[in-house]
Structure 1
Amino acid sequence: MTDTKSLPALPDRLSVNPRSPHHVADYFEHDIGILVNGKERFNVEEYCISEGWVKIPSPKALDRHGQPLMMTVKGTIEAFYK
């Protein structure tokens, strides 16, 4: 188990996609967990704590570039280091 007190605080908004302006690779050196309404989600692509949403990929639908379409799930969002 790593000491989470020495890790930097997680930002309000973060994205896994390197093409996003909200992607910061330094945070992904450690495992990050996301709770949505008290339930841990494992397929989160982007989150925003202050606005209360996460974006998850659609299981089948693709956009014209072949990337999965993102669905927005709203609720209480908590981000933490595992």
Structure 2
Amino acid sequence: MTETLPDRLSVDPKSPFHDADLLARGIGIRFNGQERTTVEEYCVSEGWIRVAAGKSLDRRGRPITIKIKGEVVPYFLNADAPAGD
């Protein structure tokens, strides 16, 4: 596993940008200089994050999300963790 994070990552298992092994290591997101803990998906190159809009759900039971634009900086929460098993 590499030490660089992908340009785009999602916590939704049905998304093509989902990576369970990478998410298990712990990913943090700094958005416009502030820590964000409720990020559902991010894209560094396009400069946006997707977060849940309250507690409302769509008809399939997934949270309704909104896209917010700004500076996105992903990082590993535990930099000392081993890269692989």
Please, what TM-score do these two structures have when normalized by structure 1? 0.86
Q: Secondary structure at the match of 2:23?
A: helix
How many aligned residue pairs are there?
77
What is the percentage of aligned positions where both structures have the same residue? 48
Q: Which residue of 2 aligns with 1:67?
A: 62
1:81 alignment partner, one of 69, 76, 83: 76
One-letter code of the match for 2:76? Answer: Y
- In 2, Cα distance between the equivalents of 1:67 and 1:30? 24
- In 2, Cα distance between the equivalents of 1:62 and 1:45? 14
One-letter code of the match for 2:10? Answer: S
2:7 alignment partner, one of 4, 7, 12: 12
Unaligned 5+ runs, structure 2: 78-85
- Output one character per residue of 1:25-81: Cα deviation in whole Å (capped at 9) or x when no partner: 121121111011000100001000000000001113221112111111110000001
Q: Secondary structure at the match of 1:54?
A: strand
CA RMSD in angstroms, aligned pairs only: 1.4
Moved segments of 4+, more than 2 Å? none
Please, what TM-score do these two structures have when normalized by structure 2? 0.83
